[in-house]
Chain A
């Protein structure tokens, strides 16, 4: 039955052929679109498919003392990573990991969630692994597809000192922290970043730069050959930071303050370099490396004395008598003031309807400026009210650096309070305060609040006759000077002599600070600052001159009581040790 003729018309033929070629043309156009027009886009995509970028962490810079002894070091530990996209069966792999390394499997999945940032970004599973654990991991390599380990430098504190408030601590970068960074691309989750102290202030220098390595991987994430078109970049270690700290001095003052609350700062007046600084109580510097127990951590957090607060730049204290040199300098500056004229101290002073007492309720008797400083007579200084108003006096305080941050290179510095008329009006209202406020102010009581670091700068200014550089912890090529203080040479002479009396004279309040070493010259001032929250704060500030070098000392014993009997003895021990260590402290 093959007789039926073909009836297909030419029209039908053309139609079917046309449809065939239209379909072919559609396909060709689509290929043209992908291969010619989309070439760049898809090339890039093919490369991201096959190229795995792995960044390697850079060791953080070390923190050194002035003699290049290591304060903060790096301890090599291992961290365990996974590339999520390469895990065949997450559950089983994690189980194998926890069995092989003896780790808690819950912690692994918890970390996985915490650090997960993308399918092909290494995600941390565990840290602080030992070499031993890593060896066991290597033995089970085959079952652990997608699991990697990496050396990771942890912060480590090899020196005998703690210096926790100076060095500060580092924190692990989590998602929240990373998002808060401007330069967030420079950090991976699990990296460490300076979170306080020098670690934070000098983060830029310490952190270094991550390195990058490229691998070619196949669709299952297995390494498949090297890549020649992208060169690896080695990690750049962070820079070491050379501080002004002297480990020995720091160790000594930490010992002196170990059972006390307060601040000790020791330094070099001319340069403003800090040889040691303690904010007591402090904490172990490795508190934040994550190796301490939950209990230790809780006890630090709940400690009533707030060991985490850095007192030397964030503690606000009434200075008490230690600021009398400002008042004295102000008085000396006044034409009408005669430093030799004596005043009678009977232990109390009537101003208006209020009685202002001297700390010595029996009175100091006949007092001139020198004995007023050396015996710390309050009544004598109340006379300031005859010469100055509040604003003029506060200007003098400002000149000595109070009421403004000194710019110490540890963040969070508070500026304290120097009362001015404006300030008083704002705080108490125009009629809420009287002129008598000046009587408190001129002896360092009342509204005035200072930070120990301001006091350190202040004593440096007196020791150098206004030529001290600003306090700092990290050695600088170019020192930053204080503002010029317009005080006559002869007035500086007077203040210096009077301060020598405080320590060296048998009737001086600071005589307990004198260790009685031949050739050791001491200058100082005690302070017993009343404070509304508890016992008096004991202050001693001063400097020593020995063999042509000068060291300044600030001692604050919080709620310690009398400056002369509590703070001065601490200072004596410091002076003794400074004489001993003198030759060892590099002055360069």
Chain B
């Protein structure tokens, strides 16, 4: 049942739009504080750079509102292929400090193509899942979506960009769940990951093996399948120490220093310690705008993007952190609400995918600043400085606005 109605601006999801703009303003206020004594051209000043990038960001989201919904649906796979292409292209460029994340068109600016590829992947996944609803009770129908997501994810992982590849992968599970996949299948998708992670501690691995066994038995698949699932996972777990060695040293060090921060007080753990110090010393009300000693004496690293929330915590205190996180929570749950109320499955799934991308950004970034997870180079939506990321965030807002409105075009 799709309402036959013409497009009207008044129907746009303003709660979501205003929340995003509010967060954007908070971000600008912090960037202004950081760049107070900044010398250099406009693009090296995070505040002015952010304002400049708001122009394409807002324009693109405005354009998306006017793209017909069926075009988005129709060209989903095309976009997906473009996404794959743009994450492969950087490998033919020169590397930036050993990474291939940046796409350069000969402009003074480079584009982090994975920021866009993650949206295209989500749309393609929404398309696939909305087209193939009926088979979702079968496990084999989960394989195609996994492949769909895994291709760009693995490419991005090799750029290497662990943070973005995680973000790219996270929509998979919620979208499968949303389209009615058996929770047991979702468990089976997660199981190999858990098998690998738990393999580093014998006790934890034993407990995991018991849980795995019980879950498989209670789902009652036929015996050969059960045995395959169980021993397959155990085998993977035993393999994981080998895979660990294949990780690059910087990834290993990030994980290791997270487990034991004392190990490298000047590397990744230094960043976590300084971030926690900045946040903790902010207290309830903060040290005042522009008064953060951790920020302005440069103890805090990457303060304009990865650790921007630490600046917020230090200068404006817990009150503003509370407001920002609540706003983000509100924004995401509004998208989920629109997804639930959406009339067609494609829109609903795409909205869930976008909500997941945003939530994973928020959670990974924030949890990193407070030392709950290892340092990942992931920015906070709407607040962190960043050209490609800001544009892609507003593209998502445009997409959400478009898909939230129930009408036929």
Contact = CB atoms under 8 A, between A and B. Distances in A.
A20 B336 contact: yes
A49 B367 CA distance: 23
Contacts of B340: 6, 8, 10, 12-13
A5 interface: yes
B133 to A, nearest CB: 6
B280 A32 contact: no
Interface residues of A, number: 43
Interface in A363-414: none
A34 B310 CA distance: 11
A161 to B, nearest CB: 54
A45 interface: yes
Interface stretch (A177-185, A211-219, A271-279, A502-510): A211-219
B179 A7 contact: yes
A31 B363 contact: no
B326 A24 contact: yes
Contact of B344 (A5, A10, A15, A16): A5
Contact of B281 (A21, A28, A45): A45
B93 to A, nearest CB: 31
Contacts of A516: none
A219 B131 contact: no
A4 B131 contact: yes
B248 to A, nearest CB: 26
B2 A2 contact: yes
Interface stretch (B41-49, B238-246, B293-301, B382-390): B293-301
B352 interface: yes
Given A5-B343, A12-B177, A50 B299 contact: yes
Interface in B86-100: none
Contacts of B362: 23-24, 27
A50 B280 contact: no
Interface stretch (A35-43, A59-67, A434-442, A447-455): A35-43
A31 B279 contact: yes
Contacts of A49: 274, 277, 293-294, 297, 299
Interface centre among B313, B321, B326, B347 (most CB of A within 10 A): B321
B69 interface: yes
A112 to B, nearest CB: 19
A286 to B, nearest CB: 44
A17 interface: yes
Contacts of A46: 277-278, 280-281, 293-294, 299
Contacts of A13: 336-337, 339-340
A2 B49 CA distance: 39
A29 to B, nearest CB: 10
A34 B73 contact: no
A139 B366 CA distance: 47
Interface centre among B177, B343, B352, B366 (most CB of A within 10 A): B366
A50 B293 contact: yes
A30 interface: yes
A174 to B, nearest CB: 27
A7 B133 contact: yes
A224 interface: yes
A20 B329 contact: yes
A220 interface: yes
Nearest to A14: B340
Interface in B277-330: 277-284, 293-294, 297-299, 313, 317-318, 321-322, 325-326, 328-329
A307 to B, nearest CB: 51
A410 to B, nearest CB: 49
B279 A35 contact: yes
Contacts of B359: 20, 23
B367 to A, nearest CB: 6
Given A28-B325, A49-B293, A4 B133 contact: yes
Interface secondary structure of A, over-half rule: helix
B322 A28 contact: yes
A298 interface: no
A3 interface: yes
A1 interface: yes
Given A5-B1, A218-B297, A20 B333 contact: yes
B331 to A, nearest CB: 10
B370 A31 contact: yes
A35 B280 contact: yes
B344 A45 contact: no
A42 B277 contact: yes
Contacts of B276: 34, 42
B280 A45 contact: yes
A85 to B, nearest CB: 10
Contacts of B178: 8, 12, 16
A41 B277 CA distance: 9
Contacts of A31: 279, 313, 318, 321-322, 325, 370
B297 A50 contact: yes
B85 interface: no
Nearest to B329: A24
A16 B299 contact: no
A15 B186 CA distance: 15
B329 A16 contact: no
Given A2-B73, A8-B339, A43-B281, A21 B333 contact: yes
Contacts of B342: 6
B277 A35 contact: no
B174 interface: yes
B228 interface: no
Nearest to B132: A4
Contacts of A50: 293-294, 297, 299
B297 A36 contact: no
A35 B313 contact: yes
9 contacts: A2-B346, A16-B355, A20-B332, A23-B363, A24-B329, A24-B362, A39-B281, A45-B277, A220-B298
Given A1-B131, A6-B342, 16 more contacts: A1-B346, A3-B344, A4-B131, A6-B343, A15-B177, A28-B322, A31-B321, A31-B325, A32-B318, A35-B283, A35-B313, A45-B281, A46-B281, A46-B294, A47-B293, A217-B297
Question: Nearest 7 A-B pairs (CB), nearest first?
Answer: A42-B280, A46-B281, A24-B329, A13-B340, A218-B297, A219-B298, A4-B345
